[in-house]
Amino acid sequence: MGDTRLGIGDFWGSYPGTVWPIEPLWCVQDPHKEPDMTDATLRGTRLGANSYETESYIEYAPRQRVTYSCPMSHATVVPMSVEAEEIPYLWECRCGREATRLDAIAPEPKYVKVPRTHWDMLLERRTIADLEELLAERLELLHSQRGGSTRRKSA
């Protein structure tokens, strides 16, 4: 077997094949060692910019194409998983309007509870007759505090 060590002279331009008697450890190459990442050069590979993974053993999830149409006659095709439990009936079109699915029936509108106003809550506690009676009492009390005048003074 030949000598697999690199001589220091090989790095600094002395005669080729010159082997110095004492060489630093970084010069010794083991022929039985498997090359690893530290031995491989990565110069010029733009690390982080490209992926080195291949798609050879990847199995993609099955998909279906769902078509939506908007009032402006735009057709939008969206790929969705076959395993999707609920596919939306509405989708936003590229023009900003709502597009509907072509292959589905419109769902029934959900019941929306109307927000209660102060007047609605008041009517839950009192009747109109009770409110008119209460108004008359408060007006009478107000007029008695002002001096009994029931007419407004004009400006």
150 falls in which pLDDT band (50, 70, 90)? low
In sequence order, the β-bridge partners of residue 26 are none
Inter-residue contact 84 to 115 (CB < 8 Å): no
State in words which class domain 63-101 has: mainly beta
What is the enclosing helix (H) or strand (E) of 98?
strand 98-101
Percentage of the chain beyond pLDDT 70 is 61
Dump pLDDT digits (tens) for 77-87: 999 999 988 89
Q: pLDDT higher for 48 or 11?
A: 48
Output the average pLDDT for the chain. 77
Percentage of the chain beyond pLDDT 90 is 37
Inter-residue contact 38 to 30 (CB < 8 Å): no
Q: Where are the domains of the chain?
A: 1-31, 63-101, 113-148
- Region 122-151: mean pLDDT is 88
What pLDDT does residue 109 have?
84
29 falls in which pLDDT band (50, 70, 90)? low
